Structure 1
Amino acid sequence: MLPSPSQPLTRRSSPVALDFQATTPCAPEVLEAMEPWWQQHWGNPSSRQHRLGLTAAAAVSDARERLAACLKVDPIQVVFTSGATEANNLALLGHARAMAEQTGHRGHLISVSSEHHAVLDPLQQLRREGFRLTLLEPGRDGLLKPAQLEEALQPDTLLVSVMAANNEIGVLQPLKELAAICQAHGVRLHSDAAQAFGHLPFHPTSLGVELASLSGHKLYGPKGIGALVMREGLPLQPLVFGGGQEQSLRPGTLPVPLIVGLARAAELALSDQEDRRIRLESLRNRLWQELQDQVGDVQLNGALEPRLPHNLNITVEGVNGNRLQQALRSRLLCSSGSACSAGTPSHVLQAIGRSQEQANASLRLSLGRPTQRDDIDAAIELISEVVGQMRQNA
């Protein structure tokens, strides 16, 4: 039995970490794989005139093949970037501008109001450039219905962007059904898969996704590396210029250690993916059930299914959100929204019908590989005590 809110909370030597959707610690195996490429094999992969450069180029080629195998795509479809934000920008700006140049017409774009700002902001830039933009509203469960997309399509719709798994509420969008609609109308589908890849099976070709963005640090890989997975032959303009690297789509010296680390992280993620899913889903469900029992008057944000197994997002009723965050900050590592939101009320939660006050009083609790049963019990105990005290003093 967990202690009641009136009982004193047992102090831990370190905070409970439940913010693994913001980022993840680099796996030891990934650090080991990267280590030789910082000093021992320090060559530039574009320097093909000597062994150091050739060795580095071979490492990049090998990593590309291994990452492609994890995604079940051809290696030529993988373009390395600094992360999912850059990949999103390259996909959206690059394809829309390339199509406008080909056709002489700035067409229509569709996305969802609950997307990450790394998608919404480049789309707004395209709108400023003369493209028309439709942002669809998700249901209160956070999900987009395929019929909404069907109704929103226009004769000159050229690109749709829908994330695979929401970064705040964890819901999984029906990509396969959305892709089928896009394919039937000759429209490209892009998906920000930063939160999905490595945690759930994600194979762009079988899903019908023609542009997909990935991030290394969301799956126990290094920060500063990601990839855009694109259908071969898809028109795409670069965002920057200055070299022929990455099919001239992303010029600049390739970060060999980070690329090696991304490939190793992806392989590790797939090796324990199913066991991790089962374990974290069980812990997440315990967390949700006990918070309902112990805290009471909490609302789940987004559908419980389909959802990332390691995500729980709740609104705590009857408390001041700022005070709640302050009371928890030193003892529970979690979030009230995206790690990129800079403390503003979550646009995702407001998109599914939460007020600003409710959004501020919400917690995104995300589990990770290191999470154990005692972490979950400590989080339940802590949230229960803090909320109980706040409600008593209200």
Structure 2
Amino acid sequence: MPSVLPDGDPAPEDGALPESVLAGAEDRAFGVYVHVPYCRVRCGYCDFNTYTASELGGTRREDFAGQVRRELALGAGVMRAAGLPERPVSTVFFGGGTPTLLPASDLASMLAGIRENWGIAEGAEVTTEANPDSVDAYDLRVLADAGFTRVSFGMQSAVPHVLRTLDRTHAPERVPLVVEWARDAGLQVSLDLIYGTPGESLADWERSVDAVLENAPDHVSAYALIVETGTKLAAQIRRGEVAEPDEDLHAEMYELVDDRLAAAGYEWYEISNWSRSRETRSRHNLSYWTGEDWWGAGPGAHSHVGGVRWWNVKHPGAYAQRMAAGVSPAHARETLGAETRREERILLETRIADGLPADVLSPEQRRGVPQLIADGLVDGRAAIGGRIVPTRRGRLLADTVVHRLLS
């Protein structure tokens, strides 16, 4: 089942934001995330806020687009009332769940709601996630015509037994078809992979990486499998039905995908993400790592504006009730102090190729950088230039880098 929402301060029913969000707002980009919580089946490794048809408790998917549009209107009003500057949306991301379980026309309607309430900047990046078996050529054309620019397919693996372990429902041969259909519609394509599935060998992983390269996407994400408490996979491991992930094998798999993608002309720009060029990076995800503003709409969605972070009620039924009542769907929120924001910046920006400006570090923290360079965790040339950028070893030991900078 989905993980539990964190505690926080009470969120006002009208969603009102404090005056503190105005500081520096004109220098921050603004994006929108829409969480579509529906899945055909629950994958055994997943603890995202998702629901199958039997778990919806009487709510209907057909009503979802209208509910999100009401939240978007509420959000625009909250931001105007706070005195925030008018900023057209520079990135939009529909995630889930499987957004494309909804009709393409519903996704188009929600995107229209974003456009009506905030405007969408020229050249904006507009992405939806999709499973390879949840869209066809017609759907992709509808999305492109509505203003979507990018589709991120949850490929996960090209090996049937790995897909079965992950409870994925598509066949590997479906991936080249959807990639071709997306390109024909004029959409950029990202392919998402997971490595370290129980029973997955290094040869299996290499087969999946080869399949990605055969499809030549614009962008690739590769995430190590994390066993989350409360998931089906965690229970299987606890009962001894499948093996625990092997950290050494994870490292080998990461090195393999990094080598193969680099040889094919892709560049890493965040620990788990590679692109053909700077222009095909996921600008929306980069906005999370660099502390920009975004409004998160939908059940369980998280938002951040000017150091205030909040999260919506999780269940689609509770969300529908809030939207019908015309009140904020926020469950709770927190206001980040200056030191917490600085620490989070260190945590996040040391993950990206553009790096962390060294002047964000305190004098004491800067004194630890030479040892990180000596240990092969931080790029020495970049550090001389004033930025803290992880080496590949540093990417594999990212938690160690952050811990040593902060301790």
TM-score, normalization: structure 1? Answer: 0.29
Higher relative contact order (CA 8 A, sep 6+): 1
TM-score, normalization: structure 2? Answer: 0.29
